[in-house]
Amino acid sequence: MMSKKYQLILASKSPRRKELLAGLGLEFEIRTKEIEEVFPPALFKEEIPLYLSNLKAKAFLDELKEDDLVITSDTIVWNENKQLGKPKSREEAIRMLHSLSGKEHEVITAVTLMSKEKTHSFYQTTRVFFSTLSQVDIEFYVDEYSPYDKAGSYGIQEWIGFVGISKIEGDYFNVVGLPLFTLNKELKMF
């Protein structure tokens, strides 16, 4: 368990991240800000979520009290040397799932911990292996689960994860949205 030195603030609208952090048995409040998630085009792989989680944390800097600790996070899907973000349309979601079908990709989640005195960021990578998905399965998933708030157009904890993911290497919770094992360790050291 973490000491009570800090009042934790989870800066995320994600119900999955809220549930995951609660699973660590920590007390926290949720505060959010509208941040335009834009990153320099020269960034590569883990640099993208690290940049975005830092950007989200910096938005809180001026309002943090001495005992506040804000937790921000960003998750990307890295496939064929490019980042897959959140789909903006049904067609884009279907296209993304086709690009993942029958292949391996990486899910990278970066987390930033920020207090008034210091900032610390880290990331975790999990390799995900998709079996070959049929057009019917892809369309069913997109239409029934509306994965428009998920990087790469899927949630591992949903139907597509049950029927389409044959294997993962790394932290399952990282794919859901927070690398819990590493986050717990980093919070204790912070």
pLDDT (tens place) for every residue of the chain, 190 residues total: 555 689 999 999 999 999 999 999 999 999 999 988 899 999 999 999 999 999 999 999 999 999 999 999 999 999 999 999 899 999 999 999 999 999 999 999 999 999 999 999 999 999 999 999 999 999 999 999 999 999 999 999 999 999 999 999 999 999 999 999 999 999 999 9
pTM over 0.95: no
Calculate ∠ Cα 91-177-136, nearest 5°: 30
- By annotation, the residues acting in catalysis are 74
Number of separate domains in the chain: 1
- Flag whether 147 is in a domain: yes
Q: Which domain holds residue 22?
A: 7-189
Chain position carrying tokens 């029934």: 144
Q: Select from 45, 76, 66 the least CA-distant residue to 114.
A: 66
Give me the helices (H) in 73-154, please: 90-100, 135-145
Please give the Cα distance from 182 to 188 (Å, whole number). 10
pLDDT in the model for residue 53 = 97
| Lookup: tokens for 100 | 């993942």
Please give the Cα distance from 185 to 187 (Å, whole number). 6
- Flag whether 138 is in a domain: yes
- Flag whether 96 is in a domain: yes
Give me the helices (H) in 59-179, please: 90-100, 135-145, 159-164, 172-176
Please give the Cα distance from 10 to 30 (Å, whole number). 5
- Flag whether 70 is in a domain: yes
If you compute the radius of gyration of the chain from its CA atoms, what whole number of angstroms results? 17
pLDDT in the model for residue 43 = 95
Chain position carrying tokens 């085009």: 41
- Flag whether 2 is in a domain: no
CATH number of 117's domain: 3.90.950.10
- Flag whether 55 is in a domain: yes
Give me the helices (H) in 24-126, please: 47-58, 90-100
Helix (H) / strand (E) containing 30 = strand 28-30
* Residue 120 bridge partners (DSSP): 113
- Flag whether 1 is in a domain: no
Centre a 10 Å sphere on the Cβ of residue 157 and count the other Cβ atoms it contains. Answer: 15
- Flag whether 134 is in a domain: yes
